[in-house]
Structure 1
Amino acid sequence: MKIGREEFSDLDTAGAARVGLGSKSRFRRAKLVFPDGTSRVTVERDSVPLYIERGVGSYVFDVDGRRFLDLNGNFTTLIHGHGFAPVVEALTRQLQRGSCFANPTESEIELAELLCERIPHVDRVRFVNTGTEAMLFAIKAARAFTGRSKIAKLEGAYHGAYDWAEVSLAARPENWGDAAAPTSTALYRGMPASVLDEVIVLPFNEVECVRRLLSLHAQQLAAVVLDPMPSRGGLITPKPEFIAAVQDTARKYGILVIADEVLNLRQSFRGASHRYGLVPDLVTMGKIIGGGLPIGAIGGRKDVMKVFDASAGLPSLPQGGTFSANPLSMTAGVAAMRHLDHAAFVYLEELGNLVRNGISRAILNRGVSLCVTGAASLFRIHPMAQVPNNFRDAYPRSAGAIVMKELSRFFGDNGIILPHGSAASISTAMSHTDAEFIVDVFARFLDSHKDMLGAIDTTR
């Protein structure tokens, strides 16, 4: 189908003008085959999405030949950047041997051994294809182990596309209820009321509220799902006393703790739970452990993971999947994780500190109402003067939301892909020059948008 310039009249908005003709033509084609022109709701677009042709190291190139420093990394997955040579070489060898089999391969043992050795409290592992599947089966495993059905989760935290995990993901001021006992809110129209009844929503970093809510529903709770630093919830550092409150209360009542490290495993060599003092019963993993290919994993205590054991017949929890533990994902994961040694994490921490400290200095020097959160190789900028304490604090008001949208546009215009409303990530492929570039572009944004920044409402 030939697309001409005259056919873009309905796309030529301010946002569409920021992408090239190549992206516009592809979006026109996509609108004929996808419900909204995209294949996943997480695709960011300012009227028209940016279509990528290739990635090299820390940069991506769009179909119009423009280069961008990539701070998305496919939603934090590509911790080594694009086209990481050890992964490419390993995949090339594996493709010559075969892409998938009904039988197991040695590569799945190698990746499982690496995870069990590296990640504390992971005695056994099962592989799936996505982070969503990992969380789905972790919740099911907790139910099968405890015989209880309810779960507790943090308000605003993302744990994949499983009904129970999606409760209160998109809570808003008009429906989120009392801060001390948040209302369970539906993500989509038609979500069963029974699902809402089976999820207890917890406020992040509120120690006494969490103790009270977990204790109140203890006899029905199979698990509390905890992302140590929820990206969608603001990428806010957990208080040590909050982690302790969750841990101690769960242990007291026999509630399993599920650590969602699908995103935050990248926070240290041994993961985020280790960094923040959490001792989980189950851990969900994904993203970086697949080397850029689809993957998910459930790991945990030997006795809990026994619910998957089919050696004596039908297990307490059957789990399969045609592409689970496929050799391509396993091989890529082994190659990527072996190169994520202690030195790599020291380097990522160094670059992360350079970016966060540089952004903080730029904010302080200009006296604007912005702040930055995050840790290790992750950061997120907020349109507010004070660092938020939880999801509700981080929820952007109207003027702030406009500022954040314009910030992403400005970064794009200056050759950087900055995720809108979620974590930005640094890769081992980035350099000190890249880090300085990020800070420089941010400082130029502050200098060129003084009036807009002055309109931010600093009250919570």
Structure 2
Amino acid sequence: MDSPIYVEKQLREAQQAFAEQNPQSQKAHLDAHHHLPGGNTRTVLHAEPFPITWIAGKEARLTSLDGREYIDLLGEFSAGIFGHSEPRIAKAVHQALESGWNFGGNNLLEKDFARKVCQRFGPSGIDLVRFTNSGTEANTTAVAASIAITGRKKILVFSSGYHGSTLVFPMISAQASTELSMNLPYDFVYAPYNNITETREVINNLPKDSLAAILVEPIQGSGGCRPAKKEFMQFLRETATSTGAFLVVDEVMSSRLGPSGYSATLGVKADMMTLGKYVGGGMTFGAFGGRRDVMELFDPSRKGLFHPGTYNNNVVSMSAGIVGLDIYNEEEVDRLNLLGRRLKEEVQSVLIKEQIYPTELADPHASIIEVDRLDGTTEIEVAGLGHRISKMPAMFITGEGSMLNIRFTGPVSKSWQALFYHHALSNQIFIATRGYTPLSLRVSHADVDRYVSLIRDFVARHRDHLRA
């Protein structure tokens, strides 16, 4: 049987079995159509034939409406790094609410939290900080500030970049895309991620003094946990300095990978850096910070940049964030990254043993680095080995530390990805439909073993159609 026919048949059977096992979630999904378009208010959570409805969570476990318990390896797309029931955060939130909320004024919590954020992320570039309600809002504000301060218009963005619901760049030729877009109407300039030569070419072709900001993720979360090369990030830092543009580093997700953020581990300091919900204890939160001279323009007494926001300093996020930064300290950052590295190496060992990986990738410690091109193709490098491979394996794992992603390539990659998602659910492990698994602090070695086991089973079952 041809692989496309094979995987489509397997997927139909998996989805049918899923529907039979989850009738209450199906009913809840269909009932929700009366008031929500497609029964959904958050697009990324949609799954075919319907998503699971959750009714409870504790530590790294989720309970569905149909009464099944799952290991949660999605960790709320990185925002849920503390699990679902961290008692110290619950206590902090409860204590904050006891004194009232929605003050319409300043409070002591925001001042304490700001001090801790600046101390924590200072090495990545945050001298002063401002709070928002989400990572999306932090990124849009940083971009808007770059334009206002420089008086320029162009924003350099990268293939497969995602910076929030109004800053989505899924393809290199996005200018010509016929898909509906809700991106902000800025003058975006598209460049290939991880490609110094062609990015330099794009920048050199811009009018002089037109570039306001370079907006980049050091690891592309939504794009598949694709790490930037150190030299690429350093090139962007040098370019921003030489052109007078702002380097805006989106660390909404990746800041979890280093004690002071991932940029600091690469030796790169941002002009502005953005943070997301895990920094606020997993609550409604975002932040942007940066160089003192830039951030002081937000000082209201100087009548500079106007940045309101009813919930910017809400007591829930401020209180949870203060405690959360203490919990996710340097020791825990290292521990969680080690657990992620162990998971990645064991998965790669499975893929090597079953001959899914080509011989050039026959090292469980190797890392796949993707270098995009202006023509829409991607070249694959093997980090640390100094060579490229001619063909991406049909199934592979990417990421760094505790941010990992199982991915597929080829003409029916979406079907393989969906089949793997349902295979994980059938083993009562919850992951993103795109294979994303940012580990939480409550994930155990036993949970990782169980995930590796189901991957081993998946590969063994489908090896003849996955082999390179």
The C-alpha deviation readout for 1:416-455, integer Å capped at 9, x for no partner, is: 112122531111111111111111111011112234424x
| 1:446 and 2:459 are equivalent in the alignment | yes
Matches within 5 A, 1:154-303: 154-162=158-166, 165-166=167-168, 169-171=169-171, 176-177=172-173, 184-185=175-176, 189=180, 195=185, 198-217=187-206, 218-303=208-293
Name the residue aligned to 2:7.
none
Matches within 5 A, 1:119-130: 119=121, 120=123, 121-130=125-134
Name the residue aligned to 1:139.
143
Instruction: Select 2:415's aligned residue among 402, 409, 412.
Output: 402
**Partner-residue secondary structure (3-state), 1:398:** coil
Q: How far is 1:16 from its partner?
A: 5.2
| 1:379 and 2:404 are equivalent in the alignment | yes
Matches within 5 A, 1:68-83: 68-83=70-85
Equivalents in 1 of 2:248, 2:87: separation in Å? Answer: 34
Deviates more, 1:422-431 or 1:405-414: 422-431
Letter in 1 for 2:180: R
Preserved contact between residue 225 and residue 257 of structure 1 (Cα < 8 Å): yes
Q: How far is 1:15 from its partner?
A: 6.8
Equivalents in 2 of 1:19, 1:275: separation in Å? Answer: 45
Q: How far is 1:397 from its partner?
A: 3.0
Equivalents in 1 of 2:333, 2:444: separation in Å? Answer: 14
Change (3 A) 1:285 1:191: closer
Letter in 1 for 2:76: N
Letter in 2 for 1:30: A
Equivalents in 2 of 1:421, 1:153: separation in Å? Answer: 22
Q: How far is 1:300 from its partner?
A: 0.5
Give me the identity figure in percent: 27
Name the residue aligned to 2:299.
309
Letter in 2 for 1:400: S
Unpaired segments ≥5 residues, structure 2: 1-13, 357-392
Preserved contact between residue 213 and residue 245 of structure 2 (Cα < 8 Å): yes
Instruction: Select 1:337's aligned residue among 319, 325, 339.
Output: 325
Q: How far is 1:189 from its partner?
A: 3.0
Equivalents in 2 of 1:146, 1:262: separation in Å? Answer: 24
Preserved contact between residue 293 and residue 329 of structure 1 (Cα < 8 Å): yes
* Higher strand proportion: 2
Equivalents in 2 of 1:201, 1:34: separation in Å? Answer: 34
Equivalents in 2 of 1:215, 1:142: separation in Å? Answer: 20
Instruction: Select 1:416's aligned residue among 415, 419, 429.
Output: 429
**Partner-residue secondary structure (3-state), 2:70:** strand
Q: How far is 1:413 from its partner?
A: 0.3
The C-alpha deviation readout for 1:112-134, integer Å capped at 9, x for no partner, is: 11110011211111111011110
The C-alpha deviation readout for 1:164-208, integer Å capped at 9, x for no partner, is: x23xx232xxxx44xxxxx5355853769x937x11111111111
Deviates more, 1:144-153 or 1:12-21: 12-21
Matches within 5 A, 1:315-326: 315=304, 317-326=305-314
The C-alpha deviation readout for 1:352-383, integer Å capped at 9, x for no partner, is: 01110110000001011322111111111222
Q: CA RMSD in A?
A: 2.0
**Partner-residue secondary structure (3-state), 2:269:** coil
The C-alpha deviation readout for 1:335-367, integer Å capped at 9, x for no partner, is: 111111111012101110111011000000101
Instruction: Select 1:46's aligned residue among 45, 48, 52.
Output: 48
Preserved contact between residue 157 and residue 189 of structure 2 (Cα < 8 Å): yes
